[in-house]
């Protein structure tokens, strides 16, 4: 009879540990993973709405104007010098200013 009590207590501790792991996993999902996915979707939507003529800010801190767009590359014109055109990845764009206002990707 003593050993059955010991077995029951042991199974209760395993159930408690499993419950804690499930609660911790749910906490991590709602605190870390879900907001990150939401942010990635927002950034993807912003970059897909990028148009020629939009003013942008790059991750390195340069301001420019988009003059051409391909699949994952944009050609950006920097400064007042019309000869300074640089191809760059869309992922390097952190802020887009359209004619209606500014929008940021964080």
Look at residue 17 and tell me whether its pLDDT is greater than 80: yes
What is the structure's pLDDT at 86? 92
Query: Is 66 found in the same domain as 30?
Result: no
CATH of the domain at 77: 2.30.30
Q: What is the pLDDT of residues 23-38, one digit of tens each?
A: 999 999 999 999 999 9
Indicate whether 67 belongs to any domain: yes
Provide the domain limits for residue 81: 51-99
Maximum CA extent, the chain: 89
| Distance between CA atoms of residues 79 and 85, nearest Å | 9
Based on the fold, state whether residues 95 and 63 are members of the same structural domain. yes
CA 17 to chain centre: 32
- Mark whether 70 and 44 lie in a shared domain: no
CA atoms within 13 A on the CB side of 12: 6
Q: Are residues 44 and 62 in the same domain?
A: no
Same-domain pairing of 95 and 67: yes
Reply yes or no on whether the pLDDT at 13 is more than 80: yes
Q: How many residues does the chain have?
A: 106
Domain total in the chain: 2
Break the chain down into helix, strand, coil percent, rounded to 5: 45, 30, 25
Domain boundary among 48, 64, 83: 48
Give residue-wise pLDDT tens across range 66-105. Answer: 999 988 899 999 888 778 899 999 989 988 988 555 555 5
């Amino acid at each position: 009879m003593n050993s059955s009590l010991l077995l029951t207590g042991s199974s209760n501790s395993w159930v408690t540990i499993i419950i804690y792991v499930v609660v911790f996993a749910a906490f991590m999902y709602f605190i870390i993973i879900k907001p990150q996915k939401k942010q990635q979707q927002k950034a993807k939507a912003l970059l897909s709405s990028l148009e020629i003529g939009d003013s942008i800010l790059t991750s390195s801190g340069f301001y420019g104007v988009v003059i051409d767009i391909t699949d994952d590359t944009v050609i950006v014109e920097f400064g007042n010098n019309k000869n300074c055109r640089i191809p760059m990845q869309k992922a390097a764009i952190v802020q887009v200013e359209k004619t209606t206002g500014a929008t940021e990707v964080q």
